[in-house]
């Protein structure tokens, strides 16, 4: 059948007066406002929607909801807005929608990879594991690219996502997930209490199973009218937030539920600036899950042809979208619910060619109603196969004997749609994500919620009320809402719903039955493929094979066969797969157990998860007060611990190498200006400040005079260097501690930890002052001459302010701390002024320096200058396994100290082993060769792998001042190897090096003390 | 997301806190000259248990205090929180 399959009946979700145009695979169709892409395609008689993942078999729409495993499509608005792997049942139609099928080449109707289906006996489960093992090299060049090309899901746009994604928090007493009859009854109960209530549903319209079609009347009116009035009440209530198009996809600890709200995907032209999605992180005191149940397909040969559909889905398509699944249908069921589908379709004019029930003696109101509607019921009947290519044309029905075995030949019944039902599986996903337990219920053949997480309740079908009378659902839902409110301390619930009146249900028919696992097949027959997992193309035979090959755990069987591992996460397949595996293992279903439910319940886009954290908002950018000045000068910046630091200042087309050479030369010759503001700074104050620092750092601070500085080293308690920096004593009870740029927050955190939890009796206060001070380093022989004209109330002479001293004074009239310190080996000062004055003082010093040939330099030159002097950088020359002795700074460790962090570890023999790697200098025999940082070092030349390696290069630069390359390295027993020749393997061979002291420039420190 | 009761500020979202590992691990002083086994236990041995776990948290984006929490590692339920130094 093709063309118009729209019925005048049903269509409760439609606005029939609003036609919409849309495109599928380049062909134009008409749909109606309220359609999903799936219903609109079916209304046009299009059943072939996609090709299956592995065998490329033609596939149609099986379900009406997000559980559908087949109908994945790509929706394209423009080049950047092309979203793959959307489920056609979830895509709301809008005018001009453009959709494409996936996983087919060259076209959907003719797909060359269909040959996989004909070769399928050569690609059983575990095929990839068995076939593509050897040769190893072929994985990268041959197997993997081909598997990836053949394994088809859609293709995402490679352009940047132009849409906006919002994120927000929600806070409420009660979150209800699912706005079907159970969720709405719970919400009505809670709304009356005045508590903050959130109710969400993944569909565009609330109502859940009530929209699918029910015979029941509620509160004396049609279910549809009751639904409309209830939704109006909830919408009007100021304390209720009703979110539609909102999927609860993750249940996290402490009742935080993640919701994904789709805001504009259903609009033909989303208004500019409107977010596409909103990610809600709802912190709920109590949660009620009313997530319903998912119909189970039946597992029999040929059950995947287009036109084979779940019976409840067919009823949804009729009653919600006015779509007829076919003109002549066969219904195959093991559950009463499918009878209602047959009755509704017959009333819409569809011919029911057969209603086959696997049960030998079905009875009850549904069966009565079907018979009185004139539908012939074949009891004790199963299906043994189907016929058809791109659409089902016939189904083979066969009788079952009293043992449940197939008896007699198949009766091939012509049909253009086959509607099946194995009953319903409760949607326990969120209950399980919350770490609730599951219990096997023998009566309904279902896993139902057992002990739940605190503050989490399941009601209705997801709690095992499958096919139950609506009144029982209402009782459970209203009671759960009342309980949840009481747990929030809301005992006064005047507006409680009277089940007897407002929710009184009549003409309701409870439904029962169900089947799990594969349907019986004739003995010895060469059966076709009976699919269990449509999306990953897993058949009953695959699962049996996995068990025969020795897999026992359901988790292993899942991974080996890939059942339940597609994007639908086995919503329609898991229980059938479990039953087939259990039967093959000869064990009961609850003994075999379920696989783990993991978030997300449905796929969510990365855009929604990223939210605002993109581009400029991905991470904070920290800029120093001198940033703009440097940017104006054309500085090249590099990110260092979120700071933007000037790396070098190129002039007249210089590359980095040339700029760094010029900057280094200027510092050594006259004077350089450097922005050191990013240096971490912590003020340690209080009567016990010195005692605290004695305990934290390796140094002895008691002997540090006021106005003097000292190089400090901080270890962790494992004895390894954690941070370093210059510490100045500002007064008796106040220290100015500097840290590495990246280390400031973690050093402060570590100090707070020891202060608060180990030595809480010490009277010390710690304050981060990193951003209070702009730090301007003036380094070089002319530094004093540059600064002196700008300084008042301070004496910069060598006698008054020697190396490692500090003083206060005015610089350009601004109160400043002046440190005489050097990270270059030259006469140097670090001027600290309040950050707001940083740029002004910087400009003044720059101006004063012009007469002296001053130059600004960046972090790259700073690295070279300090390496020439052998000053280490923690994190570059140390790697978290270096002791002070390894790093060549054991002189800093205070003698006769009773305690410091790491002191006990330093006593370990392993940390005193003379063979440990120690910091040394390396000079290449070829002075032009600059070693690669990270290169390994060997004692013997010309080794072949595996080589014996004794160390590695930590810093390596070309020193233009020295006219050659220099390197720092850590080498086993390095200090005993001075003068030795070692070998550094390179990409092109080997570089021969000589071990030296790590100080290459002015080893006596005469320039420093000038 | 955990809602963590800071003993100084009250219940706050987990985002405001940083985790500080197992609580009540005694750090031997250097003066006590701990044996290698004692020091090793302090440095590296942790309970990693299933069930009730006393652990340290720091309200880093709040009052900045360290404190202790008893949490059930199987359910994430927080049974109590108390100040450092208290039991
Ligand atoms: Zn706090």
Determine the average pLDDT of the residues in A661-688.
Answer: 98
Q: Which of B1, B34, B77 sits opposite A281 (nearest CB)?
A: B1
Average pLDDT of chain A?
Answer: 93
Lowest mean pLDDT: which of A263-267, A500-504, A656-660, A881-885?
A: A500-504
Ligand 1 mean position to A688 CA, how many Å?
25
CA A863 to chain centre: 37
Determine the average pLDDT of the residues in A752-759.
Answer: 97
Lowest mean pLDDT: which of A148-162, A290-304, A357-371?
A: A148-162
3-state secondary structure of A964: strand
- Between CA A395 and CA A307 the distance in angstroms is 11
pLDDT bucket at A914, cuts 50 / 70 / 90: very high
Nearest CA distance, B76 vs chain A (angstrom)? 6
Record the tokens describing residue A556, joined without a space. Answer: 């292993």
Q: Is A942 on the interface with B (CB under 8 A)?
A: no
- The one-character DSSP state at A757 is I
Q: Pairing relation of β-strands A308-310 and A417-421?
A: parallel
Select the residue from A251, A283, A757, A765 to test the B interface by mutation, using most B Cβ atoms within 10 A: A757
Ligand 1 mean position to A617 CA, how many Å?
27
% of chain A beyond a pLDDT of 90: 84
Determine the average pLDDT of the residues in A981-988.
Answer: 95
Lowest mean pLDDT: which of A94-103, A143-152, A197-206, B42-51?
A: A143-152
Q: Which of A254, A752, A904 sits opposite B2 (nearest CB)?
A: A254
For residue A75, which phi and psi values (nearest 5 degrees)?
-105, 125
Q: How many CB pairs under 8 A join A and B?
A: 55
Determine the average pLDDT of the residues in A895-919.
Answer: 96
pLDDT bucket at A837, cuts 50 / 70 / 90: very high
Residues of A in contact with B58 (CB under 8 A): 749, 752-753
* Contact (CB, 8 A) for A23 and A44: no
Q: Is the pLDDT of residue A309 over 50?
A: yes
Q: Is the pLDDT of residue A771 over 90?
A: yes
For chain A, domains (ranges, CATH) are 15-127 (3.10.20.440), 167-293+426-506 (3.50.50.60), 913-1010 (2.40.30.110)
Q: Is the pLDDT of residue A496 over 60?
A: no
* Contact (CB, 8 A) for A444 and A464: yes
| DSSP count for chain A of H helices, then E strands | 26, 51
* Contact (CB, 8 A) for A549 and A126: yes
Ligand 1 mean position to B19 CA, how many Å?
13
Using CA coordinates, name the residue in chain B closest to A719. Answer: B43
pLDDT bucket at A2, cuts 50 / 70 / 90: very low
- A:708-727 residues touching chain B, CB 8 A cutoff: 717-718
Angle ∠(A370,A416,A316) on CA atoms, nearest 5: 55
Per-residue pLDDT at A408: 86
Select the residue from B27, B30, B85 to test the A interface by mutation, using most A Cβ atoms within 10 A: B30
Q: Is the pLDDT of residue A678 over 70?
A: yes
Q: Is the pLDDT of residue A510 over 90?
A: no
The per-residue pLDDT for range B49-60, each reduced to its tens digit, is 999 999 999 999
- Between CA A502 and CA A236 the distance in angstroms is 18
Residues of B in contact with A900 (CB under 8 A): 30
Per-residue pLDDT at A128: 58
Angle ∠(A563,A565,A566) on CA atoms, nearest 5: 110
3-state secondary structure of B18: strand
Per-residue pLDDT at A146: 55
* Contact (CB, 8 A) for A196 and A173: yes
pLDDT bucket at A380, cuts 50 / 70 / 90: very high
DSSP string across A833-886: EEGGGHHHHHHHHHHHHGGGT-EE--HHHHHHHHHHTT---TTTT--SS--TTT
A97 has which bridge partners? A22
- The one-character DSSP state at A708 is B
Residues of A in contact with B20 (CB under 8 A): 753
Residues of B in contact with A752 (CB under 8 A): 58, 64, 66
Per-residue pLDDT at A1: 39
Q: Is there a contact between A904 and B75 if contact means CB atoms under 8 Å apart?
A: no
- Between CA A65 and CA A201 the distance in angstroms is 12
Residues of A in contact with B77 (CB under 8 A): 454
Q: Which of B31, B65, B76 sits opposite A254 (nearest CB)?
A: B76
pLDDT bucket at A105, cuts 50 / 70 / 90: low
Q: Is there a contact between B74 and A435 if contact means CB atoms under 8 Å apart?
A: yes
* Contact (CB, 8 A) for A684 and A737: yes
Q: Is there a contact between B1 and A254 if contact means CB atoms under 8 Å apart?
A: yes
pLDDT bucket at A815, cuts 50 / 70 / 90: very high
* Contact (CB, 8 A) for A676 and A625: no
Q: Is B45 on the interface with A (CB under 8 A)?
A: no
Record the tokens describing residue A936, joined without a space. Answer: 């390994």
For chain B, domains (ranges, CATH) are 3-25+37-42+49-83 (3.30.2270.10)
% of chain A beyond a pLDDT of 70: 94
The question of ipTM being above 0.95 is answered as yes
The per-residue pLDDT for range A262-283, each reduced to its tens digit, is 999 999 999 999 999 999 999 9
Per-residue pLDDT at A831: 98
Cis peptide before A808 (omega within 30 of 0): no
* Contact (CB, 8 A) for A959 and A868: yes
- A:421-440 residues touching chain B, CB 8 A cutoff: 435
Lowest mean pLDDT: which of A230-244, A464-478, A492-506, A794-808?
A: A492-506
pTM of this structure: 0.89
Distances (CA, A) of A864 to A179, A823, A869, B19: 66, 10, 9, 38
Between these two residues, A81 and A140, which has the higher pLDDT value? A81
Nearest CA distance, A1006 vs chain B (angstrom)? 39
Per-residue pLDDT at A143: 56
Per-residue pLDDT at A124: 64
Q: Is residue A956 within a helix (H) or strand (E), and if so which, with residue range?
A: strand A949-959
Nearest CA distance, A252 vs chain B (angstrom)? 6
Determine the average pLDDT of the residues in B12-18.
Answer: 95
Q: Is there a contact between A904 and B34 if contact means CB atoms under 8 Å apart?
A: yes
Distances (CA, A) of A144 to A116, A298, A658: 17, 34, 45
Q: Is there a contact between B85 and A898 if contact means CB atoms under 8 Å apart?
A: no
Per-residue pLDDT at A748: 98
Q: Is the pLDDT of residue A766 over 80?
A: yes
Q: Which of B3, B29, B60 sits opposite A254 (nearest CB)?
A: B3
Ligand 1 mean position to A49 CA, how many Å?
56
- The one-character DSSP state at A6 is B
Q: Pairing relation of β-strands A989-996 and A949-959?
A: unpaired
- Between CA A991 and CA A983 the distance in angstroms is 6
CB proximity list for A820: less than 8 A, separation 6 or greater: A709, A796, A801, A802, A803, A804, A805, A806, A828, A829
Residues of A in contact with B43 (CB under 8 A): 717-718, 905
How many other CB atoms are there within 10 angstroms of residue A385's CB atom? 21
Q: Is the pLDDT of residue A624 over 60?
A: yes
Per-residue pLDDT at A110: 72
- Between CA A205 and CA A896 the distance in angstroms is 77
Q: At what angle do helices A337-347 and A311-321 cross, to 10 degrees?
A: 40
- Between CA A245 and CA A234 the distance in angstroms is 16
- Between CA A874 and CA A883 the distance in angstroms is 11
């Amino acid at each position: 059948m093709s063309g118009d399959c729209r019925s005048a009946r049903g269509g409760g979700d439609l606005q029939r007066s609003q036609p919409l145009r849309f495109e599928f695979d380049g062909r134009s169709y008409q749909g109606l406002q309220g359609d999903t892409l799936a219903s609109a395609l079916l209304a046009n008689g299009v059943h072939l929607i996609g090709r299956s993942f592995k065998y490329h078999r033609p596939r149609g729409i099986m379900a009406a909801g997000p559980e559908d495993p087949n109908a994945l499509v790509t929706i394209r608005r423009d080049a950047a807005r092309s979203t793959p792997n959307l489920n056609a049942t979830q895509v709301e139609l809008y005018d001009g929608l453009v959709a494409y099928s996936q996983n087919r080449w060259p076209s959907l109707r003719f797909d060359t990879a269909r040959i996989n289906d004909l070769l399928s006996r050569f690609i059983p489960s575990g095929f990839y594991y068995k076939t593509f093992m050897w040769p190893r090299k072929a994985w990268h060049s041959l197997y993997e690219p081909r598997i990836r090309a053949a394994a088809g899901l859609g293709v995402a746009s490679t352009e940047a996502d132009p849409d906006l994604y919002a994120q927000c928090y929600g806070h409420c007493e009660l979150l209800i997930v699912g706005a079907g009859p159970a969720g709405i009854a719970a919400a009505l109960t809670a709304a009356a209490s005045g508590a903050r209530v959130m109710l969400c549903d993944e569909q565009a319209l609330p109502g859940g199973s009530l929209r699918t079609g029910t015979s029941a009347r509620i509160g004396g009116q049609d279910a549809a009218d009751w639904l409309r009035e209830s939704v109006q009440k909830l919408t009007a209530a100021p304390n209720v937030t009703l979110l539609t198009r909102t999927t609860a996809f993750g249940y996290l600890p402490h009742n935080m539920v993640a919701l994904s709200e789709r805001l504009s995907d259903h609009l033909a032209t989303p208004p500019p600036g409107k977010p596409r999605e909103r990610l809600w992180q709802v912190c709920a005191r109590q949660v009620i899950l009313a997530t319903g149940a998912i119909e189970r397909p039946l597992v029999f040969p040929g059950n995947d042809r287009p036109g084979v559909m779940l019976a409840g889905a067919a009823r949804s398509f009729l009653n919600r979208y006015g779509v007829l699944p076919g003109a002549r249908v066969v219904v195959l069921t093991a559950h009463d619910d499918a009878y209602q589908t047959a009755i509704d379709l017959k009333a819409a004019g569809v011919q029911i060619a057969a209603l086959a029930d696997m049960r030998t003696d079905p009875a009850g109101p549904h069966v009565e109603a079907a018979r009185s509607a004139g539908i012939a019921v074949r009891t004790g009947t199963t299906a043994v196969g189907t016929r058809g290519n791109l659409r089902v044309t016939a189904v083979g029905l066969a009788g079952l004997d009293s043992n449940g075995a197939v008896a007699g030949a198949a009766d091939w019944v012509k049909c253009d749609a086959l509607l099946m039902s194995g009953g319903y599986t409760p949607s326990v996903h969120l209950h399980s994500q919350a770490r609730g337990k599951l219990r096997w219920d023998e009566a309904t053949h279902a896993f139902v919620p057992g002990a739940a997480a605190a503050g989490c309740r399941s009601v209705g079908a997801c709690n095992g009320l499958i096919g139950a009378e609506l009144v029982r659902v209402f009782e459970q839902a209203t009671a759960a809402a009342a309980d949840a409110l009481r747990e929030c301390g809301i005992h006064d619930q005047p507006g409680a719903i009277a089940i007897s009146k407002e929710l009184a249900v009549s003409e309701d028919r409870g439904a029962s039955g169900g089947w799990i696992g594969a349907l019986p097949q004739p003995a010895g027959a060469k059966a076709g493929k009976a699919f269990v997992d449509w999306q990953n193309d897993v058949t009953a035979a695959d699962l049996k094979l996995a068990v025969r090959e020795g897999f026992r755990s359901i988790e292993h069987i899942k991974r080996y066969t890939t059942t339940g591992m597609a994007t639908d996460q086995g919503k329609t397949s898991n229980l059938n797969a479990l039953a087939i595996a259990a039967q093959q293992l000869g064990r009961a279903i609850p003994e075999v157990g379920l696989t783990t439910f993991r978030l997300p319940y449905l796929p969510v886009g990365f855009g929604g998860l990223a939210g605002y954290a993109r581009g400029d908002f991905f991470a904070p950018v920290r800029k120093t007060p001198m940033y703009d000045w440097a940017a104006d000068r054309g500085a090249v910046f590099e990110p260092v611990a979120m700071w933007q630091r000037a790396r070098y200042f190129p002039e007249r087309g210089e590359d980095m190498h040339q700029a760094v050479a010029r900057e280094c030369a200027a510092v050594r010759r006259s004077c350089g200006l450097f922005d050191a503001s990013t240096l971490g700074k912590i003020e340690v104050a209080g009567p016990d400040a010195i005692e605290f620092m004695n305990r934290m750092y390796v140094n002895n601070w008691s002997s540090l005079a006021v106005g003097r500085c000292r190089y400090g080293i901080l270890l962790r308690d494992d004895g390894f260097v954690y941070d370093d920096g210059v510490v100045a004593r500002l007064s008796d009870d106040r220290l100015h501690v500097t840290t590495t740029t990246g280390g400031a927050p973690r050093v402060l955190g570590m100090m707070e930890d020891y202060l608060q939890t180990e030595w809480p009796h010490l009277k010390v206060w710690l304050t981060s002052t990193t951003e209070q001070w702009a730090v301007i380093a003036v380094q070089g022989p002319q530094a004093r001459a540059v600064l002196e004209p700008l300084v008042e109330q301070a004496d910069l002479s060598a006698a008054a302010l020697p190396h490692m001293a500090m003083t206060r004074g005015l610089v350009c009239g601004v109160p400043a701390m002046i440190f005489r310190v050097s990270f270059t080996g030259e006469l140097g000062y670090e001027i600290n002024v309040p950050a707001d004055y940083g740029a002004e003082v910087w400009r003044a010093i720059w101006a004063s320096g012009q007469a002296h040939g001053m130059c600004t330099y960046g972090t790259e030159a700073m690295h070279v200058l300090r390496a020439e002097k052998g000053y280490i950088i923690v994190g570059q020359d140390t790697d978290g396994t270096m002791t002070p002795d390894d790093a060549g700074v054991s002189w800093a460790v205070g003698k006769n100290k009773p305690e410091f962090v790491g002191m006990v570890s330093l006593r370990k023999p392993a940390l005193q082993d003379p063979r440990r790697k120690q910091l040394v200098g390396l000079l290449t025999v070829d002075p032009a060769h600059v070693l690669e940082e990270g290169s390994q070092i060997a004692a013997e030349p010309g080794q072949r792998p595996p080589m014996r390696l004794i160390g590695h290069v930590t810093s390596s630069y070309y020193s233009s001042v020295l006219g050659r390359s220099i390197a720092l390295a850590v080498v086993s027993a390095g200090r005993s190897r001075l003068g030795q020749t070692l070998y550094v393997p390179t990409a092109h061979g080997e570089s021969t090096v000589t071990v030296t002291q790590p100080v290459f420039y002015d080893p006596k420190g005469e320039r420093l003390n000038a | 997301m955990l809602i963590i009761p800071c003993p100084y500020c009250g219940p706050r979202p987990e985002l405001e806190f940083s985790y500080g590992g197992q609580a009540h691990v005694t750090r031997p002083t250097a003066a006590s000259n701990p044996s290698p086994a004692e020091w090793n236990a302090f440095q590296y041995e942790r309970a990693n248990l299933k069930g009730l776990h006393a652990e340290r948290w720091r309200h880093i984006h709040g009052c900045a205090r360290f404190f202790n929490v008893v949490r059930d590692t199987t359910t994430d339920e927080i049974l109590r929180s108390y100040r450092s130094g208290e039991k």
